[in-house]
Amino acid sequence: MSLLSSSLASFRRPLYLWNLMIRDSTNNGFFTQTLNIYSSMAHSGVHGNNLTYPLLLKACANLASIQHGIVLHGHVLKLGFQADAFVQTGLVDMYSKCSRVESARLVFDEMPQRSVVSWNAMVSAYTRVSSMDQAFSLLKEMWVLGFEPTASTFVSILSGYSNLDTFKFRLQGVSIHGCLIKLGIVHTEVSLANSLMAMYAQFCAMDEARKVFDLMDEKSIISWTTMIGGYVKIGRAAEAFGLFNKMQRQSVGIDFVVFLNLISGCIQVGELLLASSVHSLVLKCGCDEVDSVENLIITLYAKCGNLTFARRIFDLIIEKSMLSWTSMIAGYAHSGHPSEALDLFRRMVKTDIRPNGATLATVLSACADLGSLSTGQEIEEYVFISGLESDQQVQTSLIHMYSKCGNIKKAREVFEKVTDKDLTVWTSMINSYAIHGMGNEAITLFHKMTTEEGIIPDAIVYTSVLLACSHSGLVEDGLKYFKSMQQDFRIAPTVEHCTCLIDLLGRVGQLNLALDAIQGMPLAVQAQAWGSLLSACRIHGNVELGELATVKLLETSPGSSGSYVLMSNLYTSLGKWKEAHMMRNLIDGKGLVKECGWSQVEVSGSHDALAAGN
């Protein structure tokens, strides 16, 4: 050996220096660099030890690199570190974060000695894939074997409920809360209390979440955000804003997540003054340039009916993202301006931004509202060009578009091509049959969905079923489904359900039965139901009941001209010209304005709107 080679060999870097480099790289988040350092170390002939491999496995876990992880597992076995608790725990964590739960469990089961950290890693592996029954079972086993769970154990389990909302899992969550109270750690560990509140928020149990929040010794920004977001989720925007005011009084720092929740609350309320106040606060705190906040503000102003402000914010965005375009297009589409939505979409496709499924679904909805079959077919061609023909959101909108444009056959063709149909797809097709008066087809499809496919219906699909029964005069079926949704699925009737029921009874002349049904409804629902009954009275010429319905409507909506017009039309249909004229005079005398009826026609690709006057 030459003198130079001998000198280089004597200066070979020792293992502890390699470990220091690997540790610093991993702790600083340079995970790819960590693996490169290990590669250099291996090529230099230095083998790792029980301090090296946990760090390397952590790097693989954060990179979700199963290939490197398997190679390292092989090195661990070759060097005989498979009995080391730290190395084994690192392997469990690595396999878990690489979505290989079965492999994680095999390593865990072979561990000769387990620590609380090992148990936590395996529990976390199950919760990461929402296998809550296994996680819960492991928690009980851990406790029986004398390993007392830590706050980290419970944080892992509670985080697993983030995408679950069944009653069974809620009971599990409540029992975990009981364990935490028994251990006396629920209010002293901020991260644990936050996870508990998030779990209750997921199950819409905000009163329980508030109890946890109020008893916390210390609150973080996440604590406040979780509660505000939870209130917004269940439609209690007023309480969300009340909590935000309290948060400001306590000088808690505000981040963009708080504003996302507040803006969502404003969208629910739909008040322009409140929207402007929140927007001002966003500007003051410098969160207005956050992409998600900007897009939500566009949606907010559109929801509040101020499309001018929405468009102004959109135009001020220098680098518009796909979400920015989609927000503004949706703002037009959902505010009754389908032509403007389509014009903006045409501008979008001329840029470098490519629309996603949500964008195209919104544009198809605009085509449906416009009743433009030719434009809808153009968009469908674009869907195929973009490779989004299998996107269920797009497929659902195509079904809706074709049915609204009068082509129920094409709507069914699209429906049949959908694989793994979810509830939304089934609902769209059932609703399509409903609006075309094909009640039997709608009921047959609903029966197939619930019995053959085992899909649990929700309130929205029941609205479509009741609408189908109403438009087809299927009284017995309608009454059966109205009872079934309450008794079999515990779905409380909404305003839409009740108006469909009254419309159904009214269409077949069961006016007294419709009256009994209305009087048994909550007061908040009755207002719209009386309108359906008044329309039925006009069809069947029942003046006495029509007058009662008019009185009730004027009590709840005195500023609406629609009730006067309906009653006037009823009088006119029966030749009671004097009474009809009196009703028309009342509209003028009260300064009410009768809304015009609108029709749209498509001629040579252009759309013209026609207004019907008084």
User: What pLDDT was estimated at residue 5?
Assistant: 38
In this prediction, residues 417-436 reach a mean pLDDT of: 95
User: What pLDDT was estimated at residue 588?
Assistant: 62
- Smallest CA-to-CA distance from 295 within 281, 279, 314 is with 314
* Cβ neighbour number for residue 588 with a 10 Å cutoff: 12
Q: Is the pLDDT of residue 312 over 50?
A: yes
Tens of pLDDT, residues 354-365: 999 999 999 999
Q: Is the pLDDT of residue 605 over 60?
A: no
In this structure, of 184-188, 508-512, 574-578, the range with the lowest mean pLDDT score is 574-578
How many residues does the structure list for the chain? Answer: 614
What pLDDT band is residue 603 in, cutting at 50, 70 and 90? Answer: low
- Selected residue with higher pLDDT from 318 and 187: 318
Domain ranges of the chain: 221-320
In this structure, of 164-173, 271-280, 340-349, 367-376, the range with the lowest mean pLDDT score is 164-173
In this structure, of 340-349, 393-402, 426-435, 469-478, the range with the lowest mean pLDDT score is 469-478
In this prediction, residues 59-77 reach a mean pLDDT of: 94
List the beta bridge partners of residue 608. 601
108-113-118-123 Cα dihedral, nearest 10 degrees: 50
- Smallest CA-to-CA distance from 216 within 224, 205, 228 is with 224
206 neighbors 234 (Cβ within 8 angstroms)? yes
Tens of pLDDT, residues 209-236: 999 999 988 899 999 999 999 999 998 9
User: What pLDDT was estimated at residue 403?
Assistant: 96
Q: Is the pLDDT of residue 610 over 60?
A: no
What pLDDT band is residue 10 in, cutting at 50, 70 and 90? Answer: very low
The residue with tokens 């009741």 is: 466
In this structure, of 27-31, 104-108, 112-116, 391-395, the range with the lowest mean pLDDT score is 112-116
- Selected residue with higher pLDDT from 533 and 461: 461
97-101-103-108 Cα dihedral, nearest 10 degrees: 90
Residue 180's contacts (CB-CB under 8 Å, 6 or more residues apart) are: 154, 186, 192, 196
User: What pLDDT was estimated at residue 9?
Assistant: 43
Q: Classify residue 374 as exposed, middle or buried by CB count within 10 Å of its CB (0-12, 13-18, 19+).
A: exposed
User: What pLDDT was estimated at residue 355?
Assistant: 93
- DSSP characters over 475-513: HHHHHHHHHHHHHTT-PPP-HHHHHHHHHHHHHTT-HHH
Tens of pLDDT, residues 336-381: 999 999 999 999 999 999 999 999 999 999 999 999 999 999 999 9
Instruction: Look up residue 36 and give its two tokens.
Output: 């490169």
What pLDDT band is residue 568 in, cutting at 50, 70 and 90? Answer: confident
User: What pLDDT was estimated at residue 539?
Assistant: 81
In this structure, of 191-195, 251-255, 460-464, 581-585, the range with the lowest mean pLDDT score is 581-585
What pLDDT band is residue 597 in, cutting at 50, 70 and 90? Answer: low
User: What pLDDT was estimated at residue 200?
Assistant: 92
Instruction: Look up residue 191 and give its two tokens.
Output: 């991260």
Please provide the distance, in angstroms rounded to a whole number, between the alpha carbons at the two ends of the chain: 108
User: What pLDDT was estimated at residue 612?
Assistant: 53
At residue 609, the 3 state secondary structure works out as strand
In this structure, of 43-52, 108-117, 480-489, 565-574, the range with the lowest mean pLDDT score is 565-574
Instruction: Look up residue 130 and give its two tokens.
Output: 């929402």
Q: Is the pLDDT of residue 42 over 80?
A: yes
User: What pLDDT was estimated at residue 437?
Assistant: 92
- Smallest CA-to-CA distance from 108 within 157, 66, 141 is with 141
In this prediction, residues 513-517 reach a mean pLDDT of: 87
Q: What is the mean pLDDT of the chain?
A: 87
Percent of the chain with pLDDT over 70: 90
Q: Is the pLDDT of residue 508 over 50?
A: yes
